Every structure is written in C-alpha cells, then in structure tokens.
Amino acid sequence: MRTAYTSGQIRAAEAALMATVPEGTLMQRAATGLAVICARMLGAVYGSRVVLLVGGGDNGGDALYAGARLASRGARVDAIIAGSRVHAGGLKALRRAGGRASEFHDDAAARELIGAARLVVDGLVGIGGTGPLREPYATLARLASDAPCEVVAVDVPSGVDASSGRVDGAAVVADATVTFGAWKTGLLVDPGARHAGRAELVGIGLGPHLPDPDASALTDDDVASLLPVPGAASDKYRRGVVGIAAGSERYTGAAVLAVGGAIRAGAGMVRYVGVAEPVAQVRARWPETVITTLAPGEGIEEAGRVQAWVLGPGLGTDEDALAIARSVLASDVPVLVDADGLTLVAEDRTLLRRTAPVLITPHAGELSRLLDVPRERIEARGLEHVRRAAAELGVTVLLKGSTTLVAEEGRPVRVNPTGSPWLATGGTGDVLAGLTGTLLAAGLGGYDAASCAAYLHGIAGRRGPLSAGDVVDAVPGAMRAIMDRPQDDG
C-alpha cells in the first residue's frame, strides 16, 4: 500500500530523524537520489544543459547539490536564484563543480536559459509552500511549465499544496516529481497529481518516524488480498446476494448497466426490483437475474433476502422513487446510494439515519447538494469535503472525479490510482454501483468495497474509446488480472 502524509507530518518525521544523524545528512541523501533520477532522464549527462530554478528553502539546496553532482559529470548547469536567500552550502558546491548561478532579473534571460536546456529542475518552493506563488516564483513556474524540455520537480511541484493537492494560481507542471522520505498526499490527488507527472520516491530514512498516514492508495496486491474468492463450499447465497433498485420508465439503461456490473463482478445472485419497462430490459439482457416488478408506490419488501442493496441509478425522484428509497433504507443490510438516490436523500437527510452501514457514491455536483457547498469548491478541495461528508453524514463516501476518493471517519482517505479519463462517459457510474454492490454483498465493508471497486473499475476503463457497456464486459478481465497475478511475498 502506498501511504501518504501531510507536510506537517513529514516535517515532524524529518525533525525526529535529524536529531539522530549528522547535520546535512538528509539533504545529501535527497540530492543524491535526485541527481540519479535527473541523470537517467538526461541519458547522456556530459554536455547536457541543465537549468535549476532555486528558491530559498531546503528544496533549493537539494536542487543545488544535485546540480553540483551533474556538473561534476560534465553537464552545463545554470542556476536561476529566485529570491533574496539561497542555500549557501549548495551554491558553493555548485560553483566548485563548475556550475553557474545568477539572480533572476527579467523574463527574457530566464526564458533564454530554459529554452536551451535539456532538463529543468524545479527547486523553487518545497512542501511548506501554501497559497499562490509570489513573484518571481510565479513567473518562473510558468516558464518551467512552458519549457520545451522535460521538467523535474523537487519533492513537490512549486505551487502545489503538498498536503491537499490544491493549486491556487501559477504552478509548475512537471514531467516527473522526485519526492523524499514518503509520499505527500498532494502528489496523489488532483490537481496536484496532474502537475506532478510520474512521481518517484527517494528513501532518506524517515520510515521509523512516520505517524499513521493521512491518505493511502491501494496496489494490485492489496486489492487481490481483499477480493472475496469462492471456496469449495460456496454456493450462490454464500457468495453474496445483491439487490438492485434502479431504473425507471425514462432511464431503463441505468438498471441494465447496474445489474450488469453486479453480475460481471461475480455476484452469487442479483435480485432486481423496478417498474415494468426497465424490468423488460433487464430480463432481456440478464436472464439470470431474479426480478420483482413493482407497482406504483410499492417498496421492496417482497423482493427476497439480500446481503446488500444498490439504490438509485436512474431511479427518478418522484413519489414512487421515494417510496422505493424509503423501503430500501429501512432494511437491515448495507446500502449503496447513488445518482437519483442521492438526490432523494439530499432532500431528506434523515433517510441516512440507520443502524446498518451506508455507502454513498456522489460526484461533486451530488455532494454539493448533500453538503450545501458550491460544486466548484468541492472540485477544488476534494479531500476536505470528502472527509467532511463522511463525518457529517455518518457514512462511507466514494467521491467520483478525476481523482476518486474514499473516506470513512477515523481512517485515512483512500485515493484511487487507476482512474482513466475514458470513464468520463454516461453510464459508467451505474456499472461502478453494481460492481461495488457485489463486493458489499460478498462481505467487504464499505471502505474496502468502495476502494476495490474503484480500482477495478479504473482498470476496466483503461482502454478507450469505450461505452459503459464495454466497461461491463471488461470487469471480469480486470478482476482476473488482479487475482491471477503472482503475489509479492516481500
């Protein structure tokens, strides 16, 4: 599992480690790792032109020491000093190795140096930076982002909040980020993750001093260890019976896709409840489904026993839909609430007051209605609001978006690393709901079910162009790819 930390947590761990090692040890470890990765990016170091963008903090020192190592191998290294302060030891090392340094004076000179470089190293602002970049940092960040060569960020791209991934103004868009000691939460969460490019971790010995993580991201091995696998004594009931209350006369496809996601994820049985038109569509597409046709105003009481319910995809928001929602949420099993179900509970949040677990799967617009917060604020500060929703509503939350987040009060937010922009098409959320419902019915808690489902959904949607139906068909292959892979014994 990849664990991530806030800047405050990292700084406390660094302070504890620095108390046990000679002064400057951590910076030298970081600079060595940074130089190795820069050399790999350059290919041939000798004769390569490298530009360092250097701020006054420790990451500016990291960049200078790494630049000195590259200069000693024959690279032509120029440092642009952005502020009034500079790490004296790093600057001395760079000049001793043959590198050059000059203060930033105007855009034209900096643009000329950057335009001729094969690699730009962003050492402007480190993990302590918050809020918009000031000048000349903002100008240099824009010049770096427009550079015709590769850009590597030191620890975190300048302008990205290391603890949250927020970007409040100009920020470096890097091809790679070399981060030290441990992952920073802001490197996993958009928009910070998009600015970071491919991220690489350089160990500096922080491990024993790190606290419980702020966030985490599952790996293939984590998901494989969590997924339920049928045993010799399994039958359809032991594998999990999932109920799906979805679809309406207007939105028949949502029912078909949610049921498909559940079946293709390996549900022992799917019980579908709905009105006549989606019932006909589900019966035609998924004949293995056990179906109950609902009359207007009728609930799910006659549907039979299930281990979990999926409520909401394409359900509508009229009185008949509300009657279904009330009956599902009155049950004593876990319930996943999605789409129209979220609209209904946003109008009456008392529906979420139940003893059995609830998992909600909103996008930013749906969460904005639940929390009465503008959608734009949720999109800009997803971590903050997914945590708030979990605490305020007393539920597990899977917040869909460019970075999918899973939150449950008292646990690190899980960041899904497999998301794909190909999934930004109608109906894929219905598939995710059915897939997640199957994992809930099989016995996973909401936190694990949501995390594993998002992970598998991302893998299923990696190859586009695709439709939601293509994602349904790709779910078994995604699960096999995870479950059949050799396990890491280390």
Binding residues for (6S)-NADPHX: 58-62, 126-132, 137, 155, 254, 314, 363, 430
User: What's the half-sphere exposure (Cβ side, CA atoms, 13 Å) at 110?
Assistant: 26
The one-letter code for the residue type at 367 is: L
Tokens 């609902």 belong to residue: 294
Contacts of 103 (CB under 8 A, 6+ apart): 80, 81
Residue ranges of the binding site: 58-62, 122, 126-132, 137, 155, 158, 254, 314, 363, 400-404, 429-430
Neighbours of 394 (CB within 10 A): 14
Angle at 256 between CA 253 and CA 261, to 5 degrees: 125
User: What's the half-sphere exposure (Cβ side, CA atoms, 13 Å) at 225?
Assistant: 9
Q: Comparing C-alpha atoms, which of 216, 180, 219 is closest to residue 7? A: 180
Report residue 457 CA to chain centroid gap: 13
Q: Are 147 and 179 in contact (CB under 8 A)?
A: no
Q: Comparing C-alpha atoms, which of 53, 50, 51, 54 is closest to residue 87? A: 54
- Alpha carbon separation from 435 to 99, 144, 303 (Å, rounded): 56, 42, 20
Neighbours of 64 (CB within 10 A): 31
Phi, psi of 25, deg, nearest 5: -60, -45
Residue ranges of the binding site for K(+): 59, 122, 158
Report residue 135 CA to chain centroid gap: 31
Rounded CA separation 245/255 (Å): 8
Residue-wise over 90-106: b if at least 16 C-beta within 10 A, else e?
Answer: bbebbbebebebeebee
At 411 the three-state DSSP class reads: coil
Residue ranges of the binding site for AMP: 400-404, 429
What's the maximum distance between 2 C-alpha atoms anywhere in the chain?
83
Q: Are 186 and 160 in contact (CB under 8 A)?
A: yes
Two tokens, residue 61: 């020192």
At 253 the three-state DSSP class reads: helix
Q: Are 440 and 359 in contact (CB under 8 A)?
A: yes
